[in-house]
Structure 1
């Protein structure tokens, strides 16, 4: 089975009227093809611990992936929060654990650990979270980063454990994902790079006697003809190029392996059949900027190749804003049938 995710900006910058958020959430709830919706995290954005429960209360099917940074709250408090929310959401919850990211954004929330140490802390963090969800008896924990006594929660997740999604390109990220991820989220890359990354993560997971599922994040520009699709892609490119910082961009101080790898793709604009890196260059390596451009047949064939490589979930957006567009609904319904 193939799944499709998309993303949701919780509130537009400076927005104080929730009506647009309500409209977007209900639109996604009506979708017959979107299985989950990523609600992102930044120290400057409206807090997704508020927006995700708000969205859940409005909907019947809306299934959020709540991005979460280890370190902004204690692991026991996080386990209790997500367990409670999963019960109230009737098992619709997933968590995207974000360990890396902008150093500036992390320091804004008083997290100044070096990246490698953040991953070591995150392993301990998730060890405690999972044990809190599953332990039938109270337990004590005394580790390198956390100490807690008589840990227990009275409300366990409806799903037993809330699914953990994560991504990352560094060796530390791969090791962390191999230990704790239920779904490894990959940035868009051409076929060869995607195959190499999947093999690397699978080998690491086997070392912990675990299996792994994979998602791939892509913007889709789908047209009746190739020319129509490219007109959409170039329009998004112009909007971003002519804007004055409206669109999310990678920070020049971001030295992550993923950003370097993404920027390396921009030496050539077009890869494989329809993989386009033009927005990646324009946005400085921003994670959700890699795109597929072409007709339904061309993009469907490309998704099928990724499927053969081991990807069973695609996080899809479109346009300059990397947003959901209901115009993708019919194509994705077809893709679900043909890629199943």
Structure 2
């Protein structure tokens, strides 16, 4: 059955009254449609290593996907942190390994490794993490980026291993994902581009004797009619446009040289693709993740999601609105999506 994810930044930078946070978490915990919640990572956001445990303690059902950069802590420390948290979460945890496309954002945390080297480091990082989760005997590792001795964890993940999710469009990203990802996270693209990316990753994973699952990230604007859906999308477009220069909405900068951003921006030459794939927000936000959208009636968007599913998409990461967040107004539609897919 198709899984559904959403994304949240549970604590905003200036938020000190936790009433709003508790309300958002209660909404997510009550959802019968959402299976997992991505808790993202940025050098300027509240630290998700603090917010994810808080989410788990506050909720009964929410299953966080904890985003993590390999450069911010040692692999053995991360393996121990995730194993401990997964036991406390009783298996509700997954991790999204983010190698990073913005040099500026990585440098805020002192990570100056060139992009060409970051996927090699990430591959070695996950080699150590997975060995720490599975090795019955203490082991040493002396590699290009990490040196550790006598590694042995008393606490292992509740699930045996915490599921690893990742995304990326470069050749290095495909190699890393094929070797280590349990689920490959794709940014929204039209059907043809999505098929191309699935086939590419699947081919390499098959060569390595691994099976791969895929998710697709989309912002949804759905309503009873196409006109109503487009009215909602245009209202958000105007809101984002009017906020330019204020820093209210995160956007990708020209310094972000990731292949994913380049592909996203290439789509903005045309606003509408396929039947209802829309790039208006992608252009305004400089190719920022989760800005590609589907706009239309419930039937139209459902048909498009079915088409993606038939290509091999196993999960959808869905958001809505100007903040690219969860909204309970999507609940009944997404329950129908799960039933149909």
Shorter-chain TM range is over 0.9
SS in 2 for 1:221: strand
Q: Is the 8 A contact 1:7 1:324 kept in 2?
A: yes
Which position in structure 1 is the counterpart of 2:195?
195
Rounded Cα–Cα distance in structure 2 between residues aligned with 1:232 and 1:61? 30
Rounded Cα–Cα distance in structure 2 between residues aligned with 1:336 and 1:205? 27
Which position in structure 1 is the counterpart of 2:247?
245
Which position in structure 2 is the counterpart of 1:302?
304
How large is the RMSD of aligned CA atoms in angstroms?
0.7
Rounded Cα–Cα distance in structure 2 between residues aligned with 1:305 and 1:190? 10
Cα deviations by residue, 1:95-129 (Å, 9 ceiling, x for unpaired): 00000221101011110011120100100000000
Q: 1:262 Cα deviation (Å)? A: 0.3
Which position in structure 2 is the counterpart of 1:112?
112
Give runs of aligned pairs for residues 107-186 of structure 1, distance below 5 A. 107-186=107-186
SS in 1 for 2:10: coil
Q: What TM-score, normalized to structure 1?
A: 0.99
Which position in structure 1 is the counterpart of 2:101?
101
Which position in structure 1 is the counterpart of 2:85?
85
Rounded Cα–Cα distance in structure 1 between residues aligned with 2:132 and 2:247? 42
Query: Larger deviation: 289-298 or 19-28?
Result: 19-28
Which position in structure 2 is the counterpart of 1:270?
272
Q: What TM-score, normalized to structure 2?
A: 0.98
Structure 1 residue corresponding to 2:339, chosen from 304, 314, 337: 337
Q: 1:2 Cα deviation (Å)? A: 0.5
Q: Is the 8 A contact 1:22 1:55 kept in 2?
A: no
Q: Is the 8 A contact 2:39 2:67 kept in 1?
A: yes
Rounded Cα–Cα distance in structure 1 between residues aligned with 2:44 and 2:19? 20
Cα deviations by residue, 1:43-72 (Å, 9 ceiling, x for unpaired): 111000000000100111110000000010
SS in 2 for 1:258: helix
Give the length in aligned residue pairs. 339
Q: 1:17 Cα deviation (Å)? A: 2.2
Stretches of structure 2 that go unaligned for 5 or more consecutive residues are none
Q: 1:204 Cα deviation (Å)? A: 1.1
Kindly indicate whether residue 260 of structure 2 is the aligned counterpart of residue 258 of structure 1. yes
Which position in structure 1 is the counterpart of 2:287?
285
Rounded Cα–Cα distance in structure 2 between residues aligned with 1:217 and 1:126? 24
Q: 1:221 Cα deviation (Å)? A: 0.3
